[in-house]
Amino acid sequence: MVNIFDTTLRDGEQTPGVSLSPSEKLELAIKLDELGVNIIEAGSAITSKGEREAMKLVTGQNLNAEISSFVRALPVDIDAALSCDVDSVHLVVPTSDIHMTYKLRKSREENLKDAMHAVEYAKDHGLIVELSAEDATRSDVEFLKELFLKGEELKADRICVCDTVGILTPLKAIDLIKTMKNTIKIPVSIHCHNDFGMATANTLSAISAGADQCHVTINGIGERAGNASLEEVVMSLKSLYDIETGIDTEKLHKISRIVSKYMKIPVPANKALVGDNAFAHEAGIHVDGLMKSTETYEPIHPETVGNRRKIILGKHSGKAALKYKLEIMNIGLSHEEFEETYSKIKAFGDLGKYISDVDLKTIINQVRGVELERKVILDEITVVSGNKVSPLASINLKFANDCNIKDNVREAAYGLGPVDAAINAVKKALTGVADIELEDYSVRAMTGGTDALIEVVVHLRKGNEVVEVKKAHGDVVMASVEAMMDGINLLI
Ligand SMILES: CC(=O)SCCNC(=O)CCNC(=O)[C@H](O)C(C)(C)COP(=O)(O)OP(=O)(O)OC[C@H]1O[C@@H](n2cnc3c(N)ncnc32)[C@H](O)[C@@H]1OP(=O)(O)O
Ligand SMILES: CC(=O)C(=O)O
């Protein structure tokens, strides 16, 4: 068993330009607790009034996880942490000559003395102390040992080796952790940064060498290139090392998206385990293999991390992929229709396009020579936005006669912005008509400039059925509403 020390709310929030409101911090702390992390580093209490307000909200929740504050080796920082009622302090002492000479402007002796004073002060005030060596991986190992041994004598509860600028390698991590494990008896933690893309590998090596705990963040966010990612470390431990962490892995995808939303940091499509492409397949040979057994091209089931498998049609698709798509969309084609649809997919693919579910339906209708049947039609939409009005959208939807629903629905809704208002109006108009949920929404400018072509991609769900639709338009509101309408027409 390895302990998970989550620092999304401290090192993660140190991502340049990121700042959480107290209520956002509280919500994320609750989600991290539900995920099953052992320790939540909720922030650095000394930072600001808002930070202390947020940390007090978190400690007031009586979560299962230990709540910690980052502190420098300074009584004023420890007092700030105490004022937030935290359980523990992550007491950080710079140990490299670079940091001591240039940043602290202290000798080793002075630094050691101040560090021990801080450990004593925190212990005297009833705190759990994790004594951390900042820039440990560029520090003199003998000095590190001296700091940790002295901390252990003063009843520090854990120590942490920080690879502050991410220069560790997996083999060096093993050496360093073994040395620390042979030196001290209290639990050893590892804190890795991703400057060379090795934070996860170094964390795993440290654990294989005996580290009892690791510092991680959701989506690997954090200073500069970030920290070791929680989902990568936890799933590698579970699947590749057979080591448990107590994390409820099925919640990983959801929390990844919540953190991304609150921190305003998009999750790259190719992000391991939780990225949109982590279980997406286009290449024909892969999809054929997957249809025969998912083990062929997936190391784990996507559901294990709350993600889902996606089969994408495009230039690299084979016929097995098309058959699969037709099956789940419940569409039967004659041999000739199938062959023509397949060659059109290849032709679209050669133009650099991927084929969404709506595109596939359009291609099939072309092949069959029929018009796309639309049961719900956007008759009218008006959106108002400005500096003195709350964004408001009014919408009129018309329903086809054979729908057995209504002829016409008129609704209005507010939103955070014009797109949000328009989508809220669509959702409101559909209430009681169809149980369709907007699962995912993303937008990107396809060209530059203020008149850029905007592409919106939505994932809509009705029960177990999920469709993906993309729509390009010069107007972001229209791209969003038309994507919604196309998806609704596929599902209704
Ligand atoms: C590797 C890491 O992630 S370290 C964590 C980084 N986190 C943060 O910086 C949290 C947010 N920080 C802040 O809000 C502010 O920097 C504060 C409130 C902590 C301090 O603000 P200021 O008092 O204005 O100091 P400033 O930020 O300019 O400089 C940092 C000071 O802390 C000292 N310091 C840095 N680390 C430590 C440490 N671990 N122990 C003791 N002192 C330290 C520096 O030497 C410097 O002291 P000096 O002003 O006497 O030269
Ligand atoms: C403590 C910390 O965040 C670091 O050394 O990177």
Tell whether 284 and 228 lie within a shared domain: no
Ligand nearest to the CA of 77: 1
**In the structure encoding, which two tokens stand for residue 474, read together?**
């010069």
Ligand 2 atom showing the smallest separation from residue 165 Cα: 6
Q: In the block, which residue shows the tokens 């949920």?
A: 437
Check: CB of residue 245 under 8 Å from CB of residue 275.
no
Q: Is residue 274 part of a domain?
A: no
- Specify whether 59 is located in the same domain as 91: yes
Are 121 and 240 within one domain?
A: yes
pLDDT given for residue 440 in this prediction: 87
Tell me how far the alpha carbon of residue 52 lies from the centroid of ligand 1, in angstroms.
Answer: 16
Domain co-membership, 330 together with 228: no
Centroid of ligand 2 to alpha carbon of 269 (angstroms): 27
Q: What is the pLDDT, as a whole number, of residue 472?
A: 87
Q: Is residue 270 part of a domain?
A: no
Q: Identify the residue whose C-alpha is closest to ligand 1 atom 11.
A: 47
Which residue minimizes the CA distance to atom 3 of ligand 2?
Answer: 11
- Does a structural domain hold residue 128? yes
Nearest CA to ligand 2 atom 4: 164
Ligand 2 atom 1: the closest Cα is on which residue?
134
Bridge partners for 5 per DSSP? 39, 215
**CA 207 / ligand 2 centre spacing (Å):** 18
CA of 132 to the centre of ligand 2 (A): 8
CB 298 within 8 A of CB 290: yes
Question: Do residues 140 and 97 make contact, with C-beta atoms less than 8 angstroms apart?
Answer: yes
Q: Whose CA is nearest to atom 44 of ligand 1?
A: 104
68 lines ligand 2 (CB under 6 A): no
What is the pairing mode between strands 454-462 and 465-473?
Answer: antiparallel
Residue 413's domain comprises 376-491
Q: Burial-class residue 162 by CB neighbours within 10 Å (0-12, 13-18, 19+).
A: buried
In this structure, are 419 and 303 located in the same domain?
Answer: no
**Pair 172, 234 in one domain:** yes
Q: How many structural domains are present in the chain? A: 3
Is 169 part of a structural domain of the chain? yes
In a domain, 152, yes or no: yes
Distance 19 CA to ligand 1 centre (A): 17
Given a contact cutoff of 8 angstroms between Cβ atoms, the answer to whether 189 and 206 are in contact is no
Question: How high is the pLDDT of residue 405?
Answer: 62
The pLDDT value given to residue 105: 97
Q: Which pLDDT does position 485 carry in this prediction?
A: 94
CA 100–ligand 2 middle distance (angstroms): 15
Indicate if 141 and 70 belong to the same structural domain.
yes
Query: DSSP labels for 291-355?
Result: HH-GGGT-SS-GGGGT---EE-BSTT--HHHHHHHHHHTT----HHHHHHHHHHHHHHHHTT--B
Cα 192 to ligand 1 centre (Å): 20
Q: Residue 403 carries which side chain, given as an amino acid letter?
A: C
In angstroms, what is the span from residue 10 Cα to ligand 1's centroid?
A: 14
Listed in sequence order, the residues at least 6 apart from 349 whose beta carbon sits closer than 8 Å to its beta carbon are: 313, 314, 315, 316, 317, 355
pLDDT score at 416: 94
Domain boundary (211, 236, 263) is at: 263
With a 6 Å cutoff on the Cβ, whether 94 touches ligand 1 is yes
The number of residues in the chain equals 492
Return the biggest CA–CA distance within the chain: 85
Q: Are residues 234 and 178 in the same domain?
A: yes
Domain end residue (candidates: 328, 350, 368): 368
Distance from residue 97's CA to the centre of ligand 2 (Å): 16
The answer to the question of residue 353 being in a domain is yes
User: Is residue 318 situated within a structural domain?
Assistant: yes
Which of 5, 92, 192 gets mutated to test ligand 2 (max ligand atoms within 8 A of its CB)? 92
Which of 346, 368, 390 is at the close of a domain?
368
Question: Among candidates 182, 72, 173, which has minimal Cα distance to 117?
Answer: 72
CA distance 174 to 135: 17
CA angle 63, 90, 48 (to 5 degrees): 80
Residue 460 · residue 482 · CB < 8 Å = no
pLDDT digit string (tens) for the chain, length 492 residues: 999 999 999 999 999 999 999 999 999 999 999 999 999 999 999 999 999 999 999 999 999 999 999 999 999 999 999 999 999 999 999 999 999 999 999 999 999 999 999 999 999 999 999 999 999 999 999 999 999 999 999 999 999 999 999 999 999 999 999 999 999 999 999 999 999 999 999 999 999 999 999 999 999 999 999 999 999 999 999 999 999 999 999 999 999 999 999 999 999 999 999 999 999 999 999 999 999 999 999 999 999 999 999 999 999 999 999 999 999 888 999 999 999 999 999 998 998 777 888 889 889 999 998 876 788 999 999 999 999 999 999 999 998 876 666 688 999 999 999 999 999 999 999 887 788 999 889 888 877 788 888 889 999 998 878 888 888 898 999 999 999 999 998 888
CATH classification at residue 442: 3.30.160.270
Residues 170 and 318 in one domain: no
Q: Both 149 and 15 in a single domain?
A: yes
In terms of domains, do 30 and 83 share one?
A: yes
363 and 381 part of one domain: no
Ligand 2 centroid to 249 CA: how many Å? 26
Nearest to 220 by CA among 236, 199, 239, 247: 199
Residue whose CA lies nearest to ligand 1 atom number 12:
47
How much is the pLDDT for 407? Answer: 80
Q: For residue 111, which ligand has an atom nearest its CA? A: 1
Asked if residue 26 has its Cβ within 6 Å of ligand 1, the reply is no
CB distance 103 to ligand 1 below 6 Å: yes
Residue 92 lies in a domain: yes
SS3 104: helix
The atom of ligand 1 lying closest to the CA of 11 is: 3
The residue whose C-alpha atom lies closest to atom 6 belonging to ligand 2 is 164
Q: Is 46 in the pocket of ligand 1 (CB under 6 A)?
A: yes
Cβ contact 372:401 at 8 Å: no
Q: How close is the Cα of 106 to the center of ligand 1, in Å?
A: 14
We report the CATH number of the domain holding residue 84 as 3.20.20.70
Residue 240 and residue 292 in contact, taking contact as beta carbons nearer than 8 Å: no
Q: What is the pTM of this model?
A: 0.89
ipTM score: 0.97
Cβ–ligand 2 contact at 81 (below 6 Å): no
